[in-house]
Structure 1
């Protein structure tokens, strides 16, 4: 087992140990937010047929060549076609067919003239100027050509894509199954928020915040509750979590105290320990293990440390398991808008918010930066990556930031 490794080494090591989950099919209305399991090709042209974009008259443009305000051209209206119906007749020289918006363009016609651009007298219309062929015609295949790939595998299904899939007749969508993520918290001091607070106890926020992040990612969190600081109890609960999920996340019990017994529980379980501790702050206490080809990631019990390590280390794993092509967050350069007065002997990640103004990124801290502070995570959309050995940061200084985001298709 390696100890105190870099974030990048930890990411690379764990990514080699996970793969996308199995695939299945879901109804179209249940597909939003899911990840496509394969490329989708259209089996039809879209539109399927050439159609009218307006209410008007279908005709042959050449019939209008001699039309003038003082000498209109008269055409005979031979039929009326509404949307959803097919013309019975063919447009020939000297004739026109009345069509409504969305109706098929009749055979022989090459243009649709608006109702308001002609005058109707009985079964005849008068044209007062020449028209351009094809100007008011929506051609078959104008949007999608039959056989065209409209969405690649690994793409997140969005509402517009749902609409396009419906338009080409796809009722069931091939997607990756939802990743099941078991979350459990260790600690004698923890209580569920549903209970009355007791002396010496604290409410368990980690299970709920991590579960919420997993939901936002489009995965299925599995609540494994709170386990006391007992090696055998933790090993038993992790065993149950492994059976119920594709990935197990624990919080607490991974540092060097007398009651940090998660490493011992993993050993008792028979898991292979991969690494312990990351060379970064906050979130250094992390342990990673593998059991029967499933990963167990033990995060710090400190709320902010747990969330930051989840963002940097666990989210890329989850995205790969979901079938997403892009797993890592966007990195940007930004101008710091305020001082950070502490030196950083160890690599440090600061909670911050990046905003763009006039083609320039600016970043400001979102509050207190200690490991246990949760409030500064609320407005946080980025982490400033401060290299080890850095002195205080000054307003106006250019810094590197990792842009966070828990939506399946990308980064906020």
Structure 2
């Protein structure tokens, strides 16, 4: 078992141990945000036929070659076609068919003129100017052509893509299944928010915040509740969580105190400890283990520490399980807007918000930076990466940061 390893080693080691979960088909109503597990090509043209983009008349441009206001082309209206219906007649020289928006282009017609650009008396139509063949016609396949690749494997299903798939007649799409992530909190002091607060107790924020993070990523959280600081109870809950999920997350009980017994519980169930502690602050007391090809990640019980290690270490694993090729958070540089007066003997991540002002990227600290403070995570969308051995930071200096999921 390795201890105190660099963050990048922890990320790489764990990412090598996970693969996308199984594939399934979901309805379009459930598809947005999911990742395609297969390429999708269209079996039809879109639109599937030549059609009218407006209310007007379909006719032959040749009939209007010499048309003018003094000498209009006179045509006979022989039919009317609404959207959703097909013409029964064919346009021939000297005739026109009234068409509504979305109606198919009648056979024989090569141009459509707007209602407001003609004069009609009874079934007689007057066109006052020459028309160019092909005008005001939406051609079959103008949007997509039959056989065209619509979306490749690994594409995130967005609302426009869902609409396009519906437009080509796809009712269900192949996607990677949602990873099931079991989450449990340990600690005799932790109680559910539904309970009355009692002396010495605190409300369980980690279970709900990390469950929300999983949902935001597209995973399915499995809430396992609170477990007391008893090894047998922790063993029982982790064993049950493994049976119900693809990944297990615990919070609390991973440091070096007398009641930090998650490592012992993991050993008791026969899990292989991969590493314990990562060289970073906050969130150093993290443990990673594997049992029957499933990962168990034990995070700190401190709310901000749990959040930050989730973003940096757990979120990439969930993204990989959901089918993303690389789930590692992107890195950026920015100009610091605030002073940070502490030296950093250990690599430190500071909660901040990125702002763009006059095309320059700035990083503004979001509040208190201690392990237990959750409020400063609310507006946080980047983590400033402060190297070990760094002195205080001053406003105006350039800093490196990683982008996290709350935008």
TM-score bracket, shorter-length normalisation: over 0.9
Indicate yes or no: 2:248 matched with 1:243: no
Quote the Cα distance in structure 2 between the aligned partners of 1:164 and 1:369: 45
Give how far 1:301 is off: 0.5
Aligned partner of 1:409 in structure 2 is: none
Indicate yes or no: 2:297 matched with 1:289: no
Aligned partner of 1:145 in structure 2 is: 145
**What residue ranges of structure 1 are gaps of 5+ in the alignment?**
407-411
Give how far 1:270 is off: 0.4
Structure 1 window deviating more from structure 2 (354-363 vs 100-109): it is: 354-363
Structure 1 window deviating more from structure 2 (126-135 vs 333-342): it is: 126-135
Q: CA RMSD in A?
A: 1.2
Aligned partner of 1:318 in structure 2 is: 318
Indicate yes or no: 2:173 matched with 1:181: no
Give how far 1:342 is off: 1.0
Give how far 1:258 is off: 1.4
Aligned partner of 2:385 in structure 1 is: 385
Give how far 1:404 is off: 1.2
Query: 1:78-126 CA deviation, whole Å, 9 max, x = no partner?
Result: 2111111111122222221110000001112121100000101221211
Query: 1:203-258 CA deviation, whole Å, 9 max, x = no partner?
Result: 11101100111111121111111111122221121111000000000001111111
Quote the Cα distance in structure 2 between the aligned partners of 1:132 and 1:315: 58
Quote the Cα distance in structure 2 between the aligned partners of 1:16 and 1:187: 31
Return the TM-score normalized by structure 1: 0.96
Query: 1:65-86 CA deviation, whole Å, 9 max, x = no partner?
Result: 2111222111221211111111
Quote the Cα distance in structure 1 between the aligned partners of 2:228 and 2:350: 31
Secondary structure, in 3 states, of the residue corresponding to 1:45? coil
In the TM superposition, what are the counterparts of 1:322-341 in structure 2 within 5 Å?
A: 322-341=322-341
Give how far 1:399 is off: 1.0
In the TM superposition, what are the counterparts of 1:34-53 in structure 2 within 5 Å?
A: 34-53=34-53
Aligned partner of 2:205 in structure 1 is: 205
Provide the aligned length of Structure 1 versus Structure 2: 407
Aligned partner of 1:90 in structure 2 is: 90
Please list every run of at least 4 consecutive aligned residues from structure 1 whose deviation after the TM superposition is greater than 4 angstroms: none
Secondary structure, in 3 states, of the residue corresponding to 2:276? strand
Aligned partner of 1:272 in structure 2 is: 272
Quote the Cα distance in structure 2 between the aligned partners of 1:32 and 1:178: 12
**What residue ranges of structure 2 are gaps of 5+ in the alignment?**
none
Structure 1 window deviating more from structure 2 (35-44 vs 236-245): it is: 35-44
Return the TM-score normalized by structure 2: 0.98
Secondary structure, in 3 states, of the residue corresponding to 2:308? helix
Quote the Cα distance in structure 1 between the aligned partners of 2:299 and 2:63: 77
Secondary structure, in 3 states, of the residue corresponding to 2:79? strand
Quote the Cα distance in structure 2 between the aligned partners of 1:265 and 1:194: 28
